[in-house]
Amino acid sequence: MKCSGAHLLTPIYLKLDDAMPWPEQERAFYVLSRDGLFLCRNTPFFRSCVPMGEFPSELAGQAPFMKLSYPRIPRRLMERVIGFFDLIGDRHASEAAVLIAWNRAANAIEIVVPDQVGLVGKTWSGKPYPIELEYEVPALPPHLALLGDIHSHVDGPAYASSMDRCDEVYRPGLHIVVGRILDEPPQIHCEATADGYRFSVRDLSLILEGYHRRRIDEVPPDWVAKVAVKPWSSTHQCDSPDKAGPASGAARTSPPSLGSGSSGPAPQAQDRADAAPKPEESAHGTRASSPPPCSCGPMPDDAPSPSQP
């Protein structure tokens, strides 16, 4: 199929069939196929088809974008999730994760806590340190649609680690990270993915109804029962997981200094200031680097103080 126009100096042919006839009448033309864009020529002395790294300059530009229309997570529900992360981090220095689902029957956000195993190591000084969280997304009932996930970095910075980005390539939706859990409010970072591309959500009011204070006393016991904890070793050989009791928990992430899937001794950390710094953010991302923003608006600052109910 030929695409041409007054502004397109060199016509473009869409190759929709392997048997597409060769355009003998064209001196120069492009062919767009599943293998990419090719510049083709007919001359008295040869016929050629050469792959091109750039598209014709006559075409209009297009930047990647993602406009969010997700339902916002209710304030009290988010406060309960952060209370869950606080509980697990305080008991085990471990990360934890929850899934965000949309209940089609109730027209409401619902939190699903999958079975998960947190790996926890120790610093050179003997303090526990979160290493990684292992879990699988369970099959959801028909009335639930998966919208994304939230996981904690305990008291590390809130950002998308290399392991997070790898895990989320084929999981479109919202990916929220909660860090600096000792602070109130904690750090909250969000990115959204679609077709393997990441977008930074800088305006958290697009996805959250707000945040006042964590609600540890409202954490359901069955959430905590979903978490197990394993000690981490340099050979990644772990003992049997210890199931978290009613007042226990577990974790999820790889420390920035180890990188994605790395093994090795946990870094020495006297306090949270020893954690690796957050990576630089960019407004122009790619599939493998810092993502472009969904919104450039500032983080909302109209929430009441943590002391308010």
Q: Where are the alpha helices (DSSP H) in the chain?
A: 75-92, 162-167, 221-224
- CA distances, 298 to each of 126, 187, 193, 234, 307 (Å): 39, 14, 20, 41, 23
Burial of 79 (0-12, 13-18, 19+ CB in 10 A): buried
pLDDT tens readout for residues 241-253: 555 543 333 333 3
Q: For 233-239, what is the mean pLDDT?
A: 53
pLDDT tens readout for residues 8-40: 889 999 999 999 999 999 999 999 999 999 999
Distance CA 306, CA 213 (A): 5
pLDDT tens readout for residues 37-71: 999 999 999 999 999 999 988 888 999 999 999 99
- Per-residue confidence band for 236, with pLDDT thresholds at 50, 70 and 90: low
Please check whether residue 135 is in contact with residue 112, taking contact to mean a CB–CB distance below 8 angstroms: no
Beta-carbon neighbour count of residue 34 at 10 Å? 6
What residue spans in the chain does CATH classification 3.40.140.10 cover?
A: 75-295
Please check whether residue 162 is in contact with residue 177, taking contact to mean a CB–CB distance below 8 angstroms: no
Q: So what's the pLDDT on residue 223?
A: 97
Please check whether residue 79 is in contact with residue 64, taking contact to mean a CB–CB distance below 8 angstroms: no
64: its two tokens? 């990647």
Closest CA to 72 of 284, 251, 300: 300
Distance CA 281, CA 261 (A): 22
| Position 148, amino acid | G
pLDDT tens readout for residues 147-191: 999 999 999 999 998 888 888 888 899 999 999 999 999 999 999
Q: Report the range of poorest mean pLDDT among 73-77, 80-84, 108-112, 264-268.
A: 264-268
Question: Which sign does the torsion angle of CA 59, 64, 70, 74 carry?
Answer: negative
Q: Which fold has domain 75-295?
A: Cytidine Deaminase; domain 2 (3.40.140)
Please check whether residue 68 is in contact with residue 193, taking contact to mean a CB–CB distance below 8 angstroms: no
**Four-point Cα dihedral 301, 76, 189, 306, nearest 10:** 50
Strand (E) positions, 54-207?
97-103, 108-112, 116-122, 128-135, 144-152, 173-179, 187-194, 197-201
Longest dimension (CA), the chain: 82
Closest CA to 163 of 262, 232, 292, 85: 262
Distance CA 300, CA 132 (A): 30
Closest CA to 86 of 96, 98, 76: 96
What order of strands is seen across the sheet that includes strand 173-179? 108-112, 97-103, 144-152, 173-179, 187-194, 197-201, 293-295
Q: Is 25 left (phi over 0), alpha (psi -120 to 50) or beta?
A: alpha
List of residues 6+ apart from 52 with CB closer than 8 A: 30, 36, 37, 38, 39
Distance CA 221, CA 296 (A): 38
